[in-house]
Chains A and B, each alone.
Chain A
C-alpha cells in the first residue's frame, strides 16, 4: 500500500482508539511510513523496472518488514516501556507500526517468515493488477475524505 494511505489510515485508527490528537500527526506520519524505508536500496538498484511496472513486490522487503521485524520492534518498545512513563505514546507508535504490517499483509504479497522461508503469501482479495490499483486508489480517496472531515 502507498505511504499516504498508511499515514491516513493509521491516524484515523489512532483517533478512534485514543481520541483526536492533532499534535501527534508528525509521530503518526513518521512511524507509519518508517518501515517502507527498507524499499529504498531495492528501488535505487532496480529504478527502471520499478518505474516501468510501478510496483516493488515482496522481493524489495527486508526481514524487518516481516514477522521477524515485528518481533524485534515489539521487543524494543516493550523494553522502553519499563523506563518511559508515557505509555500512550508508545502504544500509538506500536499501533502505527503494526497497522503497517497488517495492511501490507492484507493487500500485497508478503514473505512473513523471510529469513527462514522465502515463500510468498497472498490473501487473494483481488486477482489482477487492475483490481489492486482500483482498491488502492479507492481506499486512499476514502481515507483522505475521512481524514479531512476529522481535522476540519
Chain B
C-alpha cells in the first residue's frame, strides 16, 4: 500500500508540482498579514514542493527543456507573488534574479539565486523578533 502510494507520487508530472507551488505562494500572500506563523509554514511547504519537483525533473525529465523552463518560470512567478507585500528591497532582488534567469537561460549553466530560501530565513528572524 505505502509502496504503491510512493510509486504513484514519484510518477507525478513535475510541472503539476511546480504549478502547485504557485498556489501555495498565493496562499502565503493571503495569510501573511493575519497569520504569519501559518504563512511561514506554507512558505516551507512551497520550498519542499519545489525541491521535490526539482528532484523528479532531474531524475525523469533531465533532457526535457520544457520542464526546466516550467521550473524556472514557476520559481520566478512564485517569488513575484511572495514579495508583493515586501516591495523594497525584495522586489529589487527579484528583478535581478529574473533578468539573471533570462540572460543565462541559453548559456551552459542557468544561474539563479535561491531568493525564497533567503526570504524564509528573513521572515523567521523577523517573526522571532516580534515575540
B-contacting residues of A (Cβ < 8 Å)? 13, 16-17, 67-68, 70-71, 74-75, 77-78, 81, 87, 90-91, 94-95, 98-99, 101-102, 105-106, 110, 112-113, 116-117, 119-125
Contacts and interface: CB of A to CB of B under 8 A. Distances in A.
Given A67-B101, A95-B84, A105 B73 contact: yes
State the majority secondary structure of interface residues on B: helix
B83 to A, nearest CB: 9
Contact of A98 (B65, B72, B73, B77): B77
Nearest to B97: A71
Contacts of A75: 95
Interface in B97-114: 98-99, 101-102, 105-106
A149 B65 CA distance: 44
A94 to B, nearest CB: 6
Contacts of A110: 73
A87 B26 CA distance: 20
A58 to B, nearest CB: 12
Contacts of B94: 74
Contact of B69 (A71, A98, A101, A121): A121
Contacts of A16: 30
B81 A102 contact: yes
Nearest to B22: A102
B102 A71 contact: yes
Given A117-B69, A117-B105, A123-B70, A90 B87 contact: yes
Contacts of A125: 16, 19
Contact count band on B:
35 or more
B95 A78 contact: yes
Contacts of A122: 15, 66
Interface in B75-89: 76-77, 80-81, 84-85, 87-88
Contacts of B40: none
B33 interface: yes
Contacts of B26: 13, 99, 102
B22 A74 contact: no
A35 B102 CA distance: 20
Given A101-B80, A119-B69, 11 more contacts: A17-B30, A74-B98, A90-B87, A91-B87, A102-B77, A102-B81, A106-B19, A110-B73, A113-B72, A113-B73, A117-B105
B30 A123 contact: no
Contacts of A98: 77, 80-81, 84
Contacts of A67: 73, 76, 98, 101-102
